[in-house]
Structure 1
Amino acid sequence: MIGPRSIRKKLVAIVMATTLAALLVSIAIIIGYDLRSYHRTLVNDLATQAELVGHMSSAALTFDDPRLANENLALLRTRPQVRAAAIYDAGGALFASYLAQGETRAVPAELTGAPRSDDDDLVLHQRIVEDGDAIGTVYLRAENQLLARTLDYLSIAVGVTLLAMGVAYLLIRRMGRIVTAPIVAITEIARDVVATRDYSRRAPRISDDEAGELVDSFNAMLLEIEGRTRELETSSSEIAREVAERSRAQQEIMRLNEQLEQRVDERTLQLALANAELANAIEEARSANQAKSAFLSSMSHELRTPLNAILGFAQILTSSTLPSTPEQKKEFANHILKSGRHLLTLINEILDLAKVESGTVTLAMEPVPLADTLLECRTMVEPIAAGRGVRVLFPETPGAVVLADRTRLKQVLLNLLSNAVKYNRESGVVVLSCEQVAPNRLRLSVQDTGAGLDAAQVASLFQPFNRLGQEGGQQEGTGIGLVVTKRLVELMGGEIGVSSSPGVGSVFWIELASTAPLAPSAPEPAGAGRAEVPAVPVEGGAQLTPHLLLYVEDNPANLRLVEEIVRFRPDLRLISAADGHTGLALARKRLPDIILMDLNLPGMSGMEVLGQLRADAATASIPVIALTANAMPRDIERGRAAGFMHYLTKPIDIDKFTEAINSTLALLHPVEAEAEPAGRKAE
């Protein structure tokens, strides 16, 4: 049995060790800094005194007047820390000297070597220079109080440390039970429930913090499991009763067939129908039992995993036969806290799934402005994405309104966005786009640049405890979120779907009814994808004319990603075309500096567009960079052989993209490429 007193002792030890380490480090830094400042101040003060004495004694050395030099040194009586001083001529011979009252050690008769300081004295030599020539040296010996100052600081540090450790000990002794009591209580109940299968047990709520929420959720889970178990038992009894009734009916039919031979055919038909219904009922009951057993088995495994960490590390912390260091105890306590939070998340998601499956979820359907919901999601997702180095791009949705439950819509979007961040690659991108697919229908798509999924993984996505097809991976999760998301979208009258390509990424989309359509963007010139960027001022007031970059791409999300990358480049302006024919016409009309080309384009492929560009004298010299998802080695070789200057594959590597653009511009404008860094610095 785990004792709360033992856990509190471990917490006291951890806190006391942490407090002592923090105090020692802080006091050491403060003492070291002060002693260093004291030594530096003393040296600077002696250097100033030596320079002043040397300046006053330069005339005495020049005119060989030791009396004047001795009078100058006698002025050091006002500096009690200076215990001895001397002036030496250019040859190092003693010219004049001074000893403070009570000083018994004489100054050196000759000046040889560098000054030597010790724990008691600080010695300084200062050359006397006249018209650029060294005419002598000033010798100063001062009392060094560094050791005494250090001992004073150590006495103060010991007193402060003892006082702080006493206060910390009293505080943690009083607060220890607040931390350990809820964990001990829920651990005992969990062990009893696992051992006895008695789901009527309840853990007591002791606090109102996260541990209290964990107790409430744990009790709610036990209540739900108890209800499901009771329903399963009732269902099994009902099935047994139906089987018995069917059996009696069959016997009655056989008896009637013996008595009424003339009705054999009719009764035989009735018997066949009854047997078919009985078989269907038995099969449905068996399938239901198998589904429930599979769900309970998976749920038991998921619940036991964090409970195993909680119970295991708690046993180590309380065991007297398994000694551990304070650092290990702190690590074990962190594992317990992390597992408890994961268990709380799992329980909440199971409860959400139970509510959805039982039909007890109540939705408040209303017109929801999409911009407000996306802003809330952005505020919550961006910090998580930033921690993983993932950029999240949100669309402008002026005037768009969907018919949904406000809270559940945000829950759906947050789940899709968090999955896109979690399963993304480092320095990846998540693009959220919105489009009008019908007059009263809006589609929201979440595209990531992760590893992607194959067809088998996509087919099993919306099953409980399926972690996005990442079984055995390093990502933590329950696999329930997508199931709940799908049911919530369907309850709101919407649809959900997914498309994915291994090595490229995935796109999850939902469609909802729209009460107000997406407002159209400002009109653009024919053939152009976006407004052009004006010239940017550079160093000296000159104007840097941006290079024109044409991007031929039919996927709006990919176009939006490149727009966001180019937006940070004032030396570029971007125009775009959605198909090969438009891109070819735009290239002939605008003659861009560089063309980015997707290969899989509607109407005319990227290879065909490249051939047309090379056949036209006006566009033959324009460098074309391939930007495509065709990443097989044979595709790359074919593209380079066709004449692409660079062949970039999706998902976009921003560093390789920037390098390709810069190297191409350097070949086109070598002089401007050398001057460009100065302009960047001026910005």
Structure 2
Amino acid sequence: MMQLRSMRQKLVAVVMLTTLAALLVSIGGVIAYDLRVYHRALLGDMATQAELLGHMTSAALAFDDAALAGENLASLRIRPAVRAGAVYKADGTRFASYLASGEGPAFPAAPTGEGVRVEGDQLLVFRRIVEKGDFIGTVYLRAEYGLLARAIDYLAIAAAVTALAMLTAYLLMRRLDRIITAPIFAITTIAREVVRTRDYSRRAPRISDDEAGELVDSFNAMLTEIEQRTRALERSNREIAREARQRAEAQQEVMRLNEGLEERVRLRTLQLELSNAELGVAMEAASKASQAKTSFVSSMSHELRTPLNAILGFAQILTSDAMPTTPPQKKDFANHILKSGRHLLTLINEILDLAKVESGTVALSMEPVALADMFTECEGMIAQMASQRRIRVLFPEGCPEVVLADRTRLKQVLLNLLSNAVKYNRELGMVRVEAGAAAAGRVRISVQDTGMGLSPEQVGSLFQPFNRLGQESGKEEGTGIGLVVTKRLLELMGGSIGAASSSSTGSTFWIELQATDPLPSALAAGTLLPFEAQAAAQASHVLLYVEDNPANLKLVQEIIGFRSDLRLLMAPDAHLGLEMARVHLPDLILMDINLPGMSGTEALGQLRADPRTAHIPVIALTANAMPRDVERGLANGFFRYLTKPIDIGQFGEAIDSTLALVDGCARAREA
């Protein structure tokens, strides 16, 4: 009876746990989805409202009309969720404000940047007002954020539904479990008696016509078969006993003969296992080498095409009679060609450096190098890159250390570490360079950044070829061999390199070199090149170009500038591109694939999922030019797939044919 009770309890427990798991998963999924939709809808609605108020209030700010700004803010009365709003001038003073009924007059003293944040049960929105490229003010909105109350209501409902469902399941199982367990209990009783008495003539009663009844019949048939075989076994046991003696004698003779054979088989098996292990190691090494070669070819294809796109594209403009250019434009285009050519040369030099280091043909000129001079030179050379990414680079002041190294190669090592620290840093982050004495007459130089950091697995594979600091999506320029070359060069100079990283505090790369006598220092300076922004123009069609490379943005801007029928909007990343697409609803979108934060393919999926932008054709414009990349891009839903470097004729044909199709569809809808 205890076994039956245990089976019933297990059956009830299984059903109850299954029901509970299904309820928790389904209810949890519904609640999470609804809260996520509510949160995103509220943030999107408030951001759109702030941007609309910014557009409406720009004229009032320009003409210092506070009354007009107040009327614009008063339109927030139709939005009960918005409890307060204000417009601030560019200098931070409040220009106009709005308070919902019952709200206290609490406004920030001055705007705190731009963005959306949650404080308790309130949602705060700050949106900059920009008119013709000039910052003229800020829109501030405060709205009710009922996410917590909504979540509590859902949890209460979920608890009630779960309790009711569990109670119903428990009551049903208490009524139905006997239907399942009674036949099994009958079989258990008969089986226990048969085992105890060895009486195989006993039979279990059939009490149902379902699968349990079939189980009883099968059990009884098994008992019948066992009974018959037991009798036959008893008859044959005597004969088997006689034969067993004869077999034992024969088996002893066979075992004597097999002892030598087993030893030979064991030795041969060990040899085969050793050969298989060596073959496995060789195959794994060959597979890794093949993967590294494939990764290198793919990386080189993308990285070489990116600067070639700017070089060939601007060169086509300069040599085209259909696109006349002014002398300032020619100079600007030539600068872009020069910059991209230098980047291409850097990539080629990295590959050549790796080949030289691996072949042992690198010639070093070891001499005392003052770190103060070296830091000054590196500061000038990294300043432009850091300024473009808004990264602060801090070098030590009055560094007295001198190391024994090849000056050119040491500069190459430091610039590689500094460029990595800038490239993989957070926006408005910091890079700190420190130098000091280490053990055994050596000097340690460390480069610390405030980036996203690396996992222990990524740190362990940093100095392997083609490893781009865990950046597998190709968002940053480079070959992934810089750290390999750095490590080999330091070893040739008698130095060493190491790294430490945390996923929350950033990474620190350090190198150690032999200390030597001090030398006077020298000073090097760097220059900054401003980046020009695009001014919008009136045209019959609007194009949106999403691209993170400034040279490529400039190239397409100049190409489109020769056409008066097109107006170009530009976004440096996919997130801003999605927002601009939803606000401006362009006729056509040009999309790069390798974008920071979100890839072009992911952005395409979000565009297609939004009813407002699902109809907009998207053309891929990317350096991923392998045949499989083209096939994958078209399969993902891109309207056309163009590869870099840009062929201007093909580029123009793709835009014209796509816009012609868009216009045709528009006329068909109007008809």
TM-score bracket relative to the smaller structure: 0.3 to 0.5
TM-score, length basis structure 1 = 0.36
TM-score, length basis structure 2 = 0.37
Structure having the higher Rg:
1
Q: Which has the higher contact order (CA 8 A, sep 6+)?
A: 2
